[in-house]
Structure 1
């Protein structure tokens, strides 16, 4: 009877872990009803399946097959219940299922180390308590940080190694130990070590997928920056031509005396607002800083720029546009949230220093700067789709052998960049 209960408990363990670990995932329609039906119907099917395997064959090979099929059946019943409640891809479900399995296995190993392999009421309570502790600990340390969109990148070649380890390391090993009544502490310690290694391997897979997604996003941003640079360059050239033509027309009107002088002065001021070209000695930097200067004027943000960009002429124009563009966009976004006009100021300094080009960007902010691995953590709630700008800045600075530092002093954010200074021909 206790053997039957432990088999059903295995199903409930996997189902509990599945619903807990997918708590942040998108749900299917009528989730509460689905979850309730999954528990009731799933448990009924699980009990029927457990009843079919409530014996012990005398032959080792048959016993291994018997136990493996019995527990795999319970596992897939629980996994199907989770899949019917949560929106995810089949390979994602199998990946998470492996995580559920080894978490359950680790909790079982800990319970067996504490009280031995006791198939009684005390062993049942200890197994449940151990599962709760291990599951909640892993959830707090790792699982709550897992994002469903990253797991959508999982494919068969990602899942198969874990499944092989699960089949060989747990199913066969446990069945073999069960046949020979292996209940030593050493055995369960070894099993716990296997569980820990596989869980770590599973989380490493997730981190790798996250880095791949991040790198792809950064590359996409850099490609978009290249296109934006070309568009901004063409727009600035067209604006300069139009401004030149308008000034010529204003001179003609003034000479002919056809329009009142005050109206002509207003027209000149309007033209001047669009003809403020920043000159740094670097055409790519000129395009960007002119564009950002106009944006600051439209948002009533003071923009002070003292830049000598000749030493950065060797950098690819698109890289330069992306690097300074991301820095200034973040500064503008932070500054426009301020209410004090005296604080709505951005200062950019670019100057040569002993074979290097020193860049210092300074702006006020009302949010504290939180750093993670040296980079600011986005203040937006959707961290999965934001925060790539500073990462692309770091990659670009490293590409050219430079250094990037973020600091905050009181309510002022400072960005320091140190880049090699070389002429364009090198």
Structure 2
């Protein structure tokens, strides 16, 4: 190690690494909270500090392995406290390590500038540490919080994790090269020069990781928007196809009416009339079914109802479709199409056909338009944020149907809620009525 100036105190480094983890834990969705979080965080700080102090005087050959162990402890700290995958924990651990290196280096550079070659008063040294750590970590927290989703997840993949690891490793290697040897083109020979190199390299490394993080977030948002747009388009296409099919069915039933009139003129009136009465009752039942007062909703419900009949699902609906007359056609397709598709998809998994039940209701309540979708549900409902946890293998494509419903409802200043009660899953849409 370079002997021109004292190294950063290991306790300062441990505190920087711990605070860097706290920054990301405070932003991400947490698994621990309250006293459990405080207790575990306190234990993590003690373990991190003891480890770095104990390994301070080890030969230089153990320096890199010791840093890897320190990063491993940061990984465990973040992973245990946050409800994220190991890949995501690794991604944020690398970011936290680079942040810790930057803050610790910057603070020590200012310290060395103020008291170079002089003994500092311990109180002033602690005040400088608290002020700089507090200020810089707060700024980093503000920057990071802007680009973390509300649910605290980015769906980091292995490729993105390894890209971050490579960047972090390169930053650590170049920033600490002068501490190992001065005989390279990237090393410094004087104390202030070495500190400048380390701080600037760490700052550049964090800037690269921050820009990469923003890019990942923008790609995620773009992917979600594209997926929701595809869902919107698919729902609207289904509506157009269903409309054509329903029109053909209506024409067919109209022809049947004419056939009935012709048949009534025939002989054998008793049997013929009984048969014809039965046909008329069926026609009336069809005509009365899904006549809500809104043609778009009628078409969607008729299409879904036919599919449900084919698959042994009982779909019932009590709706005043006139309440939707001011709503855009695509928005009606999005809300009802996605909600019914999700309900139908789940009911298909229920073995007992008698329990395959879906109910839709549309009404007004206390100045709100209420749309409620209910379907029979077995098991416990687990939520991830405000969305049900998926059972699909590809979790990265989970929830876009509900997200598109929520996005559409927000256009009308409404809200979406999901819940579970007495073996019924419930999706409620509340939209304030226009005065």
- Tell me, yes or no, whether TM beats 0.5: yes
2:70 pairs with 1:123: no
Aligned to 1:318: 330
| Partner Cα distance (2:303, 2:288) in 1 | 9
| Partner Cα distance (1:386, 1:122) in 2 | 44
2:252 pairs with 1:242: yes
Deviation at 1:191, TM superposition (A): 7.8
Deviation at 1:397, TM superposition (A): 0.6
Unaligned 5+ residue runs, structure 2?
1-49, 80-85, 92-154, 183-188
Quick check: 1:113–1:185 contact (8 Å CA) kept in 2? no
| Partner Cα distance (1:308, 1:273) in 2 | 18
Equivalent of residue 218 in structure 2, options 188, 208, 211: 208
| Partner Cα distance (1:422, 1:257) in 2 | 59
Aligned to 2:112: none
Q: 1:385 to 1:124 in 2, by over 3 A?
A: closer
2:232 pairs with 1:222: yes
In the TM superposition, 1:133-144 aligns within 5 A as 133=73, 139=86, 141-143=88-90
Q: 1:387 to 1:125 in 2, by over 3 A?
A: closer
CA deviations 1:98-154 (Å, max 9, x no partner) are xxxxxxxxxxxx9987645965444365345446555677745435852369x6xxx
CA deviations 1:266-319 (Å, max 9, x no partner) are 766776786564121222111111222222222232222111121221111121
Deviation at 1:382, TM superposition (A): 1.3
In the TM superposition, 1:390-409 aligns within 5 A as 390-409=402-421
Aligned to 1:344: 356
Aligned to 1:147: 157
| Partner Cα distance (1:274, 1:307) in 2 | 16
In the TM superposition, 1:262-281 aligns within 5 A as 277-281=289-293
Q: 1:130 to 1:298 in 2, by over 3 A?
A: same
Quick check: 2:387–2:399 contact (8 Å CA) kept in 1? no
Aligned to 1:94: none
Q: 1:392 to 1:258 in 2, by over 3 A?
A: farther
Q: For the aligned residues, what is the CA RMSD?
A: 4.4
Equivalent of residue 373 in structure 1, options 385, 409, 422: 385
| Partner Cα distance (2:53, 2:261) in 1 | 93
| Partner Cα distance (2:434, 2:262) in 1 | 46
Tell me the matched-pair count.
Answer: 305
| Partner Cα distance (2:54, 2:196) in 1 | 12
| Partner Cα distance (1:114, 1:411) in 2 | 56
Q: 1:201 to 1:170 in 2, by over 3 A?
A: same
Quick check: 1:243–1:275 contact (8 Å CA) kept in 2? no
| Partner Cα distance (1:119, 1:186) in 2 | 25
Deviation at 1:240, TM superposition (A): 0.7
Quick check: 1:281–1:310 contact (8 Å CA) kept in 2? yes
Q: 1:122 to 1:352 in 2, by over 3 A?
A: closer
Unaligned 5+ residue runs, structure 1?
1-109, 152-158
Q: 1:148 to 1:120 in 2, by over 3 A?
A: closer
CA deviations 1:169-217 (Å, max 9, x no partner) are 6566444555337699999899878767765654453233222111111
SS in 2 for 1:325: helix
| Partner Cα distance (2:260, 2:394) in 1 | 50
Quick check: 1:307–1:348 contact (8 Å CA) kept in 2? yes
Aligned to 2:314: 302
Aligned to 1:252: 262
Question: Could you state the TM-score of these two structures normalised by the residue count of structure 2?
Answer: 0.57
Quick check: 1:311–1:421 contact (8 Å CA) kept in 2? no
Deviation at 1:350, TM superposition (A): 0.8
Q: 1:125 to 1:226 in 2, by over 3 A?
A: closer
In the TM superposition, 1:3-402 aligns within 5 A as 115-116=55-56, 120-123=60-63, 125-127=65-67, 129-130=69-70, 133=73, 139=86, 141-143=88-90, 145-147=155-157, 173-175=175-177, 178-179=181-182, 180=189, 199=209, 202-257=212-267, 261=272, 277-402=289-414
Question: Could you state the TM-score of these two structures normalised by the residue count of structure 1?
Answer: 0.58
SS in 1 for 2:265: helix
